[in-house]
Structure 1
Amino acid sequence: MVMPAYGSGAQPTVWQPVNLDELQALKNELSGKYYFAAGTTLLRTQWEGGLVPVPEHMISLARIPDASGVYVDGDDLVIGALTRLSHCATDVLLQQLPILQSAMNAIAAPSIRNLATIGGNIVSGVGDSIPALLVYDAQLYWLTDNGMEMRSLSSWLNGGRDGSRNPNDVLMRIHIPMENTPLPDANSEQTAVAREISFYRKLGRRETFTASLVTIAFHGEVDIDGHWIKIAIAAGGGSGMAMRLTESEKLLLGGETSVMQASSLAASVMAEFVTYSDAFATEEYRKQTAGNMLGAGLWEALRS
């Protein structure tokens, strides 16, 4: 059995398993009296604010092989859950996902991004990477009590709403399907993609290192005739869970691109987005802001 790395007194004992078997054994032995740790940037903030207690044990995931880095696996682009945000922001492969790289650069300050991981940002349930990953149809691979299991990001988020998540599951990697959409030849039946329109926006209480009030992401594909053939829209922010805005997607899908769609999209988003009120902003403000940000982003993209 793996030995603890350190810990004494009021400080948690930190364990550093070196493979998945050791990790699974520790989960069973410690009986839920632990937190998983990677960059620990969020955990430290929560402890200092008294939001969560310091646990008896911490299980570091830093030595688990193949849990970090970015690579291609078949038709998927794979991101290890322990990959630092700063690495994600500059990785050459992730340049194919401009919305995600925009999100990485909008999270916290550079010093935090050098420590924090994409897995930690996701597992928080409210991370600013989540809207971007939603529009890319991200799939999450978890080490569960029954072995490795895959769930879509959308279904995992829904598990937070209905209480079906298992806190003992460990996020190991993120898979993003990479669709090959080159312009076809004249005899091809494949729909030609003439243009991609993507943008990401975050509104916070100040420029950096603060929880967002509203975060939005938009990814669309337009055919050579100027019609939308793919639309994905997501919104979140603050301590609210991000969501795909499927009704707003249907509003655009199949239609001809036009700057006139910006106002109707804004109104649809305001009606569909489910959010909350707190001391910093009302629910109505967040809904209106999400609609305005998406409408303005679409207007700017179509005008350019």
Structure 2
Amino acid sequence: MARESTLARDPTQNILDVIRTLRVELRKSDRKVADVVLAEPRQILTDTVADVARKALVSQPTVLRFCNAIGCSGYPDFKLRLAQSLALGTPATHSVLLDSDTADEVVEKIFDYTLTSLDWARHHLDKEQLSKAIELLADTQRIEFFGFGASGIVALDGAQKFPLFGVPCGAQTDAHQQIMVASMLKPGDVAVLISNTGMTLSLGDVARAAHENGAKVIGIVGAQEAPLLRYCDVSLVVETLENTSLYTPTISRIAALVVIDVLSTAVALRRNDDHQHRITQMKQRLNEMRFK
């Protein structure tokens, strides 16, 4: 069982390769689950634990035990690693960076991992929630973006796109300033909270302050179970294949920036002809500032 323990504990391993390698060492009932996964891995991405149990003719606890046996912390973790192996036809584990990598290999791996993760985020973004966010932003009088660290960069980018939104925008990355601004919001305003983990306590305070004053709150987070979402009117879960490895690029920030682009562009397209004309003028003035 030494091989099993080594493979199962290594999160960089392609999970399909792990299953193939460990299959003969699994319990008989666990092998039934393994066979279902290997037979239709893409279908498993949309299956629940109950679905897999039914297909494998086993109990739901057996499915969970199978996940643990192959080194996953649970069914969600198993599905994430499975997605990493299947996304864009290139196992995401190929993008694990090594000290021995050449510059060319670093380029290939980071681009591959980024493209894979963006594609995953795109297909898992709740379009209904996205539409609700666009409706709120298109009908607001003021937008304030809130975030810390890498999420603060996304907040600044959101405020930088204020010509497209057509309303006053701000970005707050300091905890004290965030509470001050959130406390001054009013009905008709929108607060956009950005946090990949969705676990930043002070952002919960910001959301509560905004709500108390009648403002709406949009949350942009990286996980469906993020605690911050309980304080949001609209939840945009931008799930990526983010890896906590030391050298992994910050995919979550890139994905959140893309979502900000989607929101700002969609809102701008809803504006009238006069607003579109002003955007055209703004672009022309920017062009005039460039070298000829």
Fold match (TM-score > 0.5): no
Please identify which structure carries the higher helix content. Answer: 2
The structure carrying a bigger strand percent of its residues is 1
Q: Whose relative contact order is higher, 1 or 2, with alpha carbons under 8 Å and at least 6 apart?
A: 2
Q: TM-score if structure 1 supplies the norm length?
A: 0.22
Could you say which structure has the larger radius of gyration? Answer: 2
